[in-house]
Structure 1
Amino acid sequence: MPMPIRAALVALSAVSFLMPGALARAQQPRPEVVASGLQHPWGMAFVDGGVLVTERAGRLRWVSPTGQVGAPIAGLPAIDVGGQGGLLDVVADSGFATNRRIYLCYAEPSADGGRNATALASARLSEDGRRLEQWQRLFGQQPQVASRLHFGCRIVESPDGQLFLTLGERYHRMADAQTLDNHLGKVVRLRKDGGAAPGNPLLGRPGALPEIWSWGHRNPQGAAWGPDQRLWITEHGPQGGDEINRPDAGLNHGWPLVTYGENYGGGAINGGLRSQPGLVQPLHHWTPSIAPSGMSFLRSQRYGSAWQGQLFVGSLKFRYLARLELDLTGPQPRVLREHKLLPDLGQRVRDVREGPDGLLYLLTDERNGQLIRLLPPS
């Protein structure tokens, strides 16, 4: 064989040998740090060309398009900061361009300081972006309890202008997720003035709270409006059994009667039951737990048409971003495959949102947290 041909074949063989790894790297989005120095950021909203970011320690900041982190925005109420509690989610109203209204979710202290609960409020962001005006507390979870755990606290505005709010069962009160005279372990659906939304499944039912949309939840810390025109949420399981669910009116998602997880340190919960008639099975579950938090559907084609419509979920425990391929063609959506993006990020992914530019943005829940923009794979 002539030497030039032999050399060419050897080179081609080497390229073929390296191709799988090279392809895997080429399919990874490229993280670009937009801003750093954020203290345990939790939620974000795109306004005024930049990003509003909550810090769990009780501060709201605006990050400029060039990555400058602004001073804390004035006008927040008393917030109970500790454990998993603090200032958590933020969402801009669908009419923000004209009304400058935002919604905030936070841990609200009781009057005596011994208890707390998840609360929802609205406010107007001043024209200069330095303070909150017209503060209005819209909703408070009942009852307030002594706990630093499981606040839930993701907000989603549906296309019809109603607000969904996820509420944890506060850990020690898990049995209350199955009773309807409280808001623990529930998803509630509210009007923008904080009242129960019309069409809620328990309106007029004696002994049931009218704000409740679904129940049997544990600690839902991710929520997004899906391409199927339904609410989707992620929720933390105990040891194992993290879930993706689609709460709908009057559905019981089973916690703590059924779960794919177990007690911390081992041991079955409720005899190890994973299903029971009348209880909704999760759309997808993880064991071991990945500790899922924020989630977002990708609507743009900035990463190619193959990623359009897929679901992205942040992992706190394993510090990566999950890309979930979905099949939405049947009567029940299915997760076909999961891909781990940014496996070397090394930071807890608290939130993921699609920005106005069609790119995905992440918040990392660290003492020196970052706002990260994901650039398309090269």
Structure 2
Amino acid sequence: MIRRLALLAAFAIPAACSAAPQGGDAAPAATGARPFAMTPVADFDAPWAMTFLPDGRMLVTEKKGEMLLVSADGRQRRTVATVPVDAAGQGGLMDVVLAPGFAQNRQVYFSYSAAGQGGKGVVLARAVLDLAAGGERLRQIEAIYRAYPLVEGDGHYSGRIAFAPDGKSLFFTAGERQKFTPAQDKSGVLGKVLRLTLDGKPAPGNPLAAQGFKPEVWSYGHRNLLGIAFDAQGNLWEQEMGPKGGDEVNLILPGRNYGYPNVSNGDHYDGRPIPDHAPGDGYEAPKVWWNPVISPGGLMIYSGDLFPQWKGDAFIGGLSSKALVRVDLNGTNASKGDQFDMGARIREVEQGPDGAIYVLEDGGRESQGRLLKLTPATGMPAGTAGAGTAGAAR
């Protein structure tokens, strides 16, 4: 399907989403070398996600089910949990995030894929991280939420976690499991953003229960949601893999339908067309989209001082594109920034306590699984940005 860029540029978005989506075949123009130095910190076996402890140590998840506590310099590591996961296909041990009150309660939330009666699904779990020297371990592990229905297959689990700014609820992503229609189905939670209490129950006041949806559903019409984060203004941003084309960055608003599989700026892998987002179609259009794709994996909104020119911007790991992708955020609007060629599949991007940017290589397809620390390049003036190549198709 030929993408109608001129039409997309003229979208009339509802008042809460006033900006037209930006995307298409054009990549940002290259403007020079990467404005950061890359320092290898550690190597992992197919890492998926990471988070920083207040003391600078890191928790890193590996696809096979290992949760690792890693020193700030990467030289020391300890397995703090071995989670029984179903690691086939896109499954495994996935996201890991510290609870808002971690300094007091030592609680850690994480996600993984598991098999059950009738199929497989994504699970949200909670545990307490015991930091006793020499005996560090995740204890009191409990599964607090399981996405449903369980279905056969090994794809599109999603499983990303973000705590609300007030720390009283959390948002959890459930992919449509490559089954298409569950994203629009009111009887389950697949293909949706969920809002839960800290105990994994449906949070009160969710917007769609009165319309017959499950009480935990916040938004729907999503595909494979592999990044979710709040900005400093409290806006909730999400990125997801589109089909053949149409990777997206969305501003997540309560009760909205984001269209999949009824509309998308990509098409089915077998060549069947999917209608594009269009004015007045009743679906929430993405703020930014890519075709060719970037294959997004991981989302971070930068708030540090080490790269002042990027404060408030979103960063996305690129898998097939082997890139670190920057998106300019401006209130509730967004536009493409830089696309830095990293030479390896990037699964995760996080901000360190010192304001450095850390990226995890995926560990597959000529990607070593390294943790890299990005710091400003020597001699690179503040505000300088560089761009890489366009993402290749998955």
TM-score class, shorter-chain normalisation, is: 0.7 to 0.9
Quick one: which of 295, 316, 319 aligns to 1:313?
316
Q: Deviations over 1:219-269 (max 9, x none)?
A: 010111123312111100000000001112101000011100011142302
Partner AA of 2:360 in structure 1: L
CA RMSD, 1 decimal: 1.8
Quick one: which of 279, 282, 296 aligns to 1:278?
282
Deviates more, 1:121-130 or 1:252-261: 121-130
Q: Deviations over 1:149-176 (max 9, x none)?
A: 00011100111221101111000x2111
Partner AA of 2:376 in structure 1: P
Structure-2 residue corresponding to 1:373: 373
Q: Deviations over 1:55-113 (max 9, x none)?
A: 0111111111121252422363x2111100000000011111111100011102115xx
8 Å Cα contact 1:103/1:121 also seen in 2: yes
Structure-2 residue corresponding to 1:231: 236
Partner AA of 2:112 in structure 1: Y
Q: Deviations over 1:276-297 (max 9, x none)?
A: 5321000110001110111111
Aligned partner of residue 283 in structure 2, secondary structure: coil
Structure-2 residue corresponding to 1:9: none
Partner AA of 2:240 in structure 1: E
Deviates more, 1:366-375 or 1:255-264: 366-375
Paired with 2:60 and 2:119, the residues of 1 have a C-alpha distance of 26
Structure-1 residue corresponding to 2:4: none
Aligned partner of residue 306 in structure 1, secondary structure: helix
After superposition, residues 180-199 of structure 1 pair within 5 angstroms as: 180-199=186-205
Structure-1 residue corresponding to 2:106: 100
8 Å Cα contact 2:157/2:174 also seen in 1: yes
Aligned partner of residue 72 in structure 1, secondary structure: strand
The answer as to 2:352 corresponding to 1:355 is: yes
Residue 377 of structure 1: how far off its partner (Å) = 2.4
8 Å Cα contact 1:116/1:144 also seen in 2: yes
| Bigger RCO of structures 1 and 2 (CA < 8 A, at least 6 apart) | 2
Quick one: which of 39, 44, 49 aligns to 2:56?
49
Deviates more, 1:48-57 or 1:147-156: 48-57
Structure-1 residue corresponding to 2:185: 179
Structure-2 residue corresponding to 1:210: 215
After superposition, residues 85-124 of structure 1 pair within 5 angstroms as: 85-111=91-117, 115-124=119-128
Gaps (5+ residues) in structure 2? 1-29, 379-394
The structure whose Rg is larger is: 1
After superposition, residues 57-76 of structure 1 pair within 5 angstroms as: 57-74=64-81, 76=83
8 Å Cα contact 1:240/1:260 also seen in 2: yes
Runs of 4+ in 1 over 3 A off after TM superposition: none
Quick one: which of 266, 269, 278 aligns to 2:271?
266
Paired with 1:74 and 1:182, the residues of 2 have a C-alpha distance of 30
Paired with 1:115 and 1:72, the residues of 2 have a C-alpha distance of 29
Partner AA of 2:32 in structure 1: A
Quick one: which of 305, 326, 335 aligns to 1:301?
305
Q: Deviations over 1:139-197 (max 9, x none)?
A: 000101111000011100111221101111000x2111111110110000000011111
